[in-house]
Amino acid sequence: MFRLFRDSLGACLAPQGSVVCIGAFDGVHCGHRALLGRVRERADALDMQAIAVSFEPVPREFFARSTPLPRLDSARGKIEQIRECGIDDLLLMRFNAALAAMPAEEFVEQILINRLEAREVWVGADFRFGHGRRGDIDLLREMGEAHGFRAEVFAEFSLGDLRVRSSEIRELLAAGEFAIAARLLGHPFRIGGHVVHGRQLGRKLGYPTANIRLGRRTSPINGIFAVRVHGVAAQALPAVASLGVRPTVDGVEPLLEAHLFNFDGDLYGRRIDVEFVAKLRDEEKFSTLEAMVEQIDRDAAEARKVLAASQPDSPPDAGAHPVRIRSSGVLA
Within a 10 A sphere around the Cβ of 258, how many other Cβ atoms? 25
Average pLDDT, the chain: 89
Q: Say how far apart CA 176 and CA 166 lie, in whole Å.
A: 15
Please write the tens of the pLDDT for every residue from 296-329. 999 999 999 999 998 775 444 433 333 333 332 3
Question: Same domain, yes or no, for 259 and 206?
Answer: yes
Among 224, 232, 289, 293, smallest CA distance to 257 is for 224
Question: Same domain, yes or no, for 141 and 274?
Answer: no
Classify each residue of 65-85 as buried b or exposed e, where b means 16 or more C-beta atoms within 10 Å of its C-beta.
eeeebbbbbbeebbbebbeeb
Helix (H) or strand (E) segment spanning residue 325: strand 323-325
Residue 304 lies in a domain: yes
Burial of 105 per CB tally in 10 Å (0-12, 13-18, 19+): middle
Question: Same domain, yes or no, for 129 and 221?
Answer: no
Question: Same domain, yes or no, for 11 and 137?
Answer: yes
Q: What confidence score (pLDDT) does residue 319 get?
A: 38
Residue 172 lies in a domain: no
Burial of 315 per CB tally in 10 Å (0-12, 13-18, 19+): exposed
* Residue 227: CATH number of its domain: 2.40.30.30
Q: How many domains does the chain have?
A: 2
Residue range of the domain that includes 78: 3-161
Residue 169 lies in a domain: no
Q: Say how far apart CA 185 and CA 163 lie, in whole Å.
A: 11
Q: What confidence score (pLDDT) does residue 19 get?
A: 98
Band of pLDDT at residue 252, cut at 50, 70 and 90: low
Band of pLDDT at residue 161, cut at 50, 70 and 90: confident
Read off φ and ψ for residue 305, nearest 5 degrees. Answer: -65, -45
Question: Same domain, yes or no, for 137 and 275?
Answer: no
Question: Same domain, yes or no, for 40 and 103?
Answer: yes
Question: What pTM value is reported for the model?
Answer: 0.86
Answer yes or no: are the C-beta atoms of 6 and 29 closer than 8 Å.
no
Q: What confidence score (pLDDT) does residue 313 get?
A: 57
pLDDT value at 175 more than 60: yes
Q: What confidence score (pLDDT) does residue 27 get?
A: 94
Residue 221 lies in a domain: yes
Among 101, 103, 14, smallest CA distance to 53 is for 14
Within a 10 A sphere around the Cβ of 10, how many other Cβ atoms? 9
Residue 324 lies in a domain: no
Answer yes or no: are the C-beta atoms of 39 and 7 closer than 8 Å.
no
Question: Same domain, yes or no, for 127 and 67?
Answer: yes
Answer yes or no: are the C-beta atoms of 242 and 282 closer than 8 Å.
no
Question: Same domain, yes or no, for 237 and 119?
Answer: no
Question: Same domain, yes or no, for 116 and 236?
Answer: no
Residue 117 lies in a domain: yes
Q: What confidence score (pLDDT) does residue 250 get?
A: 58
Average pLDDT over residues 86-92: 97
Among 85, 57, 80, smallest CA distance to 69 is for 57
Please write the tens of the pLDDT for every residue from 1-21. 899 999 777 889 999 999 999
β-pairing, 118-124 vs 223-230, is unpaired
Of the residues 161, 177, 204, the one at which a domain ends = 161
Residue 322 lies in a domain: no
Residue 80 lies in a domain: yes
Please write the tens of the pLDDT for every residue from 276-289. 999 999 998 888 88
Question: Same domain, yes or no, for 199 and 127?
Answer: no
